[in-house]
Amino acid sequence: MHSFCSDGFWSPTEVVLMAKKAGLKQISITDHNTISGLPEAALQAKVAGIDFVDGVEINAQTNFNNEIFQNHILAYRFEKKKIMPLLRNLIYVNNKLFKKTIKNLKNIIKTNKLVVLNKRHPTIAFKKNIEIGKIDEFNILKDEFKRIYSRKITRNDVKKLLEQRIFPQEVVARFIKNNLLQDSKSIVELEPRFWAKKIIFKNLPDIFEVVNEKEYHLDHKSVLDTIAAASGISILAHPFLDYSNYSKAKQKKYILFLDKLLQNGLNGFEAYYYEGQGFSKKYQQDFNKKTAKLCMKNRLLMTFGSDCHGPKRNDPSKIFVGMFGSENIVKLG
C-alpha cells in the first residue's frame, strides 16, 4: 500500500486506520523509493494492534539480452540506515531524468518540430500556440497534484518534493495529454491502462527515449544486493503487469530474466490483485496463477498486495484495502 509520502492519497496514519477498518491483521506500507512514512505508520499500527512490516518499493531497470526491463522491487524488514544511501541516489538520478524530459519537451516546442509530429502522429496532435513558459517543474507538478490528489502546491513545495521522492516520466506524459494535445480523450479510449507506454512514449521518442540511458537508473542486481546487505527480503512487485504488452520474443526473454533475478538473490514474487483500468478479474487471476506457479516451483516467498493508493481522482473504485491477501500472518524470519 502507498501513502502520500509517495503517490498515495492518504497519510501513513490514514492508511493504517483504513487497514484496521478493513480488518487486516498484518500490513506494510511500501511507498515508492522512500521510507519517510514508516515511523508514523509503525506507531499507528502498534496502537491499532496490527502487525506492521517496514517496506519500500524500489525502481529498477536492466538491459537484458538487448531488451529493457523495468520493474518495482519490494523490500521488507530491512535495516533502514543501510538502505537509505540507495534511496537517496535513486531520487537524485530519477529527478535528473524528470528534468531532462521536461527540457526535451521544451526543445521540441522551441524548434517547431510539432508540425512534423502532428502530421506523423495525428492521434497525439499538439495544440497550436503553446505557452512554453508554462512548461516547467512547478506547473507540471501543480497540475499533477490538482488532478490526481486534489491538492494545491507552491513553488517551495516543489523543491521539497524533488528532494524527497521521484516523479516518473508518466507525470510528464499526463501533463502532455491533459494540457498540450488537441484531443486527449481518444488516447485513453484506445488504451485505457497503457496509453502512456503504447502511445505517448512510443510516438514521442525525442522527448522520452532518454529513459533508456543508464545514468538515470539503478539496475536490478544493485537493488537486490543492497536489500540483501540491509538484511531485507526482496520481492518482485506485480511481476506480470506488463507481460501482455511484450512481443512473443520479449515474453520469452522475460521468463529468462526472472530466472536471472533469482540467481541474483530475489526472494520471491507478489501475488497482485488489480481489477479495473483494463484489467478484468480473470485477467488478473491468470497473472496470480503464474506467480504462484513460479513460487512453488522455486520454493520462494509469495506476498500479497492490493497496491492500494487510496481514492486518487476522488474515484472510490481505486480503494483496494483488504481486497486480496493471505489468511494468515506471513512469517518473514
Q: What are the tens digits of pLDDT across the range 148-198?
A: 888 899 999 998 899 888 898 999 999 999 999 988 888 888 887 788 888
First to last CA, the chain: 21
Do 241 and 208 belong together in one domain?
no
Q: Is residue 223 part of a domain?
A: no
Domain termination residue (choose one: 152, 178, 212) = 212
Asked whether residue 317 carries a pLDDT value surpassing 70, the answer given is no
In whole angstroms, what is the distance from residue 269 CA to residue 77 CA?
A: 16
Domain interval for residue 56:
12-78+234-318
pLDDT at 260: 96
Distance of CA 93 to the CA centre of its chain: 16
Do 108 and 67 belong together in one domain?
no
What total number of domains does the chain contain? 2
Overall average pLDDT of the 119-134 stretch: 83
Do 67 and 171 belong together in one domain?
no
In whole angstroms, what is the distance from residue 62 CA to residue 302 CA?
A: 23
Asked whether residue 145 carries a pLDDT value surpassing 60, the answer given is yes
Query: Does residue 154 or residue 241 have the better pLDDT?
Result: 154
State what percent of residues in the chain have pLDDT above 70. 89
Do 253 and 286 belong together in one domain?
yes
pTM of the model: 0.87
Q: Is residue 5 part of a domain?
A: no
Q: What are the tens digits of pLDDT across the range 7-66?
A: 888 999 999 999 998 888 999 999 999 999 999 999 999 999 999 999 999 999 999 999
Q: Is residue 181 part of a domain?
A: yes
Query: Does residue 316 or residue 92 have the better pLDDT?
Result: 92
Residue 324 — pLDDT band, cuts 50, 70, 90?
low
Residue 273 — pLDDT band, cuts 50, 70, 90?
low
Residue 92 corresponds to which cell in the numbers above? 537524485
Could you tell me which residues are beta bridge partners of residue 304?
Answer: 271
| Residue 220 near residue 157, CB atoms below 8 Å | no
- Amino acid found at 106: K
Overall average pLDDT of the 76-104 stretch: 94
User: Of 18-27, 39-48, 214-223, 321-330, where does the model show the most confidence?
Assistant: 39-48
CATH of the domain at 306: 3.20.20.140
| Residue 2 near residue 308, CB atoms below 8 Å | yes
State what percent of residues in the chain have pLDDT above 90. 51
